[in-house]
Structure 1
Amino acid sequence: MRILFFGRGVISTQYAWAFEKAGHTVEFYVRKGRKETFGSNIELEMWDARRGKQLIKENWNVKLHEEMSPNYDLIIVSVNTEQLPKAAQLLSTAAGNTPVLIFNNVWQDLKSSISPLSMNNVVFGFPGGGGGIADNRLRGGFLKMLFLEKPREGTEHINNKVKELFESAHFKISWKKDMQNWLWNHFAMNAAIETEVLKLGSFPALMNHSDSFANLGKNMRGIIPVLKARGAKIDTISLLLTKIPPALLGTLFNKVIFAKGSLPRLFIEYNNSKAGFAVLEVVREAKKLGIPLPRLTVAIENNEQDKAIENSKS
């Protein structure tokens, strides 16, 4: 299969590497000027958990394009959430009839998030991995499991193509009947986590602060009314985050889910992305609905004050 990845980010690069190793042809579309900046290879230091826990260290050659053609079997989009509208706009004119996998976090309703792309040409999924890129060096990894929406009427052929692709590379799919609802809950959890990142300054700092995950539950309690007001069903993970006492929740995350040496913990420790967009989006929605979100709002305001102080110093 010939696959084009939209952007050469952490998720795109890791899955592209896995697909190439499985015998597929993978290429990347990047913005003008990025081809020269990125160069023809990238240094990989990532964990592959499809068959046990294997550390991959490789200087991997990649093929980048600054123009897009429709001559692919599948296009995979995994970008920062705020970049998705522009990506969809470009794909609507440049991708032709090539099917598209949106492998992304989404807070809008799915149809609006990819407009003017047609829902009949798109399926939605979510990766099971993370990490960061700095100085053309990727540190991160991926798990065996990923998430994919069950076929909608008219998308069966795309779902089958995506299913065959991931299974050919030995990934396991967790099928989601209501991908919209799953993504809303996941985005809300991201906002709850990013609230703590804004307060602490970085994702690695989140992992090393004793109160981070106790506060995560408190943040989620504030967001739940926003989810309900927009018609979301509260899923099991969101519910547990709000029902488990904060102290116990902190212990559960620090000692079990994000235990030292675990891959989920490493993925977050390697994450060097800028936090805050998920928080802003949820706060904007809360304001529209007239729902107070003091914990998230204070985190944003304090972060803006910190930026203003830094700018005045410089």
Structure 2
Amino acid sequence: MRILFFGRGVISTQYAWAFEQAGHTVDFYVRKGRKETFGSSIELEMWDARKGKKLIKESWNVKLHEEMLPNYDLIIVSVNTEQLSEAVQFLSTAAGNTPILIFNNIWQDLKSSIEPLSMNNVVFGFPGGGGGIADNRLRGGFLKMIFLEKPRAGTEYVNQLVKECFESAHFKISWVKDMQNWLWNHFAMNAAMETEVLKRGSFPALLNHRDSFANVGLNMREMIPLLKARGAKLDAISLLLTKIPPVLLGTLFNKVIFVKGSLPRLFVEYNNSKAGFAVLEVVRAANKVGVPLPRLRLAFENTEYAKEI
């Protein structure tokens, strides 16, 4: 299968490497000028957890294009949330009828998030990995599981194509019945974490404070009225963050989920992305329906986002 990844970010690079290992042809589309900046290879230092826990360390040659070439079987889009609108606008004229997987965090209504693309040509999913890129070195990794929406009427062919692609590379698919609800919950959880990151200064710093995840739980509780106003139902993770007492929640995250040496902890430690946009999106939505979010607003003080709310 010939696969095009939109952008050469952490998620795109890791899954592209896995697909190439499985025999697929993978290319990257990058913006003008990025091909020279990125170069023809990237240094990988990432954990592959599809079969056990294996550290991949290699210099990987990549194919970057600054123009959209024809004849791809699948396009996979995994970009920063604030870049998604620009990406789909470009693909609406450049992608033709090529099936597209939106492998992204999304807070908007799914249909409006990809306009003017056709919903029948798009499926939504979410990766099971993380990390960061600095000085052309990727540090991070991915788990065996990825999340994919169950077929909607008209998307059966695209879903089957995406399914075959990931399974050929030995990934396991967790099928999501209501992807809109799943992504709303996940985006809110991400905003709850980013709120704490804004206070601490970075994702790695989040892990160095004992009460960080207790605060993440309190941030999540504050967003429940907003999720309900949107018509969302709380999923298992949201219930965990909002029902368990904050002190116990902090212990659970520090001693179990993000225990030292675990892959989830490493993904956060390597995450050098800029926090704040998810929080801004949530606060903007809350303003429209009159839901107060004092904890999230407070985190914006002394940041560049303060003037935007």
Where do residues 295-310 of structure 1 align in structure 2 (5 Å cutoff)?
295-304=295-304
How many Å separate the matches in 1 of 2:214 and 2:181?
25
TM-score for the superposition, normalised by structure 1: 0.96
Deviation at 1:302, TM superposition (A): 3.4
2:17 partner SS: helix
Residue 303 of structure 1: how far off its partner (Å): 2.6
How does 1:254-265 map onto structure 2 within 5 Å?
A: 254-265=254-265
1:165 Cα deviation (Å)? 0.4
Whether 2:78 is the aligned partner of 1:78: answer yes
Q: Kindly tell me the number of residue pairs found equivalent between the two proteins.
A: 307
Q: How does 1:1-314 map to 2 (within 5 A)?
A: 1-304=1-304
Give the residue type in structure 1 aligned to 2:114: I
Q: Percent identity?
A: 85
CA RMSD of aligned residues (A): 1.1
Give the match's secondary structure for 2:132.
strand
8 Å CA contact 1:199, 1:299 repeated in 2: yes
SS of corresponding position for 1:261: coil
Shift of 1:256: 0.2
Gaps (5+ residues) in structure 2? none
1:71 shift after superposition: 1.4
C-alpha distance in 2 between matches for 1:175 and 1:90: 28
Quote the offset at 1:306 in angstroms.
9.8
Alpha-carbon displacement from aligned partner over 1:205-243 (angstroms, at most 9, x marks no partner)? 001111100001100010011000011111111011111
**Number of the residue aligned with 1:312:** none
Change (3 A) 1:145 1:248: same
Give the secondary structure class of the aligned counterpart of 1:27: strand
Q: Distance in 2 between matches of 1:69 and 1:118?
A: 20
1:42-81 deviation line (CA, Å, top 9, x unaligned)? 0000000000000000100000000002310000000000
The one-character-per-residue Cα deviations of 1:14-61 (angstroms, maximum 9, x if unpaired) are 000000000000000000000000000000000000000000001000
Q: Does the 8 Å contact 1:70/1:97 carry over to 2? A: no
Q: 1:107 to 1:306 in 2, by over 3 A?
A: closer
Distance in 1, Cα, partners of 2:88 & 2:303:
30
Q: 1:216 to 1:94 in 2, by over 3 A?
A: same
For 2:303 and 2:242, the matched residues in 1 are separated by 25
Give SS of 2:301's match: helix
For structure 1, which runs of at least 5 residues remain unmatched after alignment?
308-314
The amino acid that maps onto 2:128 is G
Q: Cα offset for 1:121?
A: 0.4
| Alignment partners' CA distance in 1, 2:231 and 2:106 | 15
Distance 2:102 2:195 in 1: 25
Q: Conserved in 2, the CA contact under 8 Å of 1:213 and 1:249?
A: yes
Distance in 1 between residues matched to 2:289 and 2:173, nearest whole Å: 35
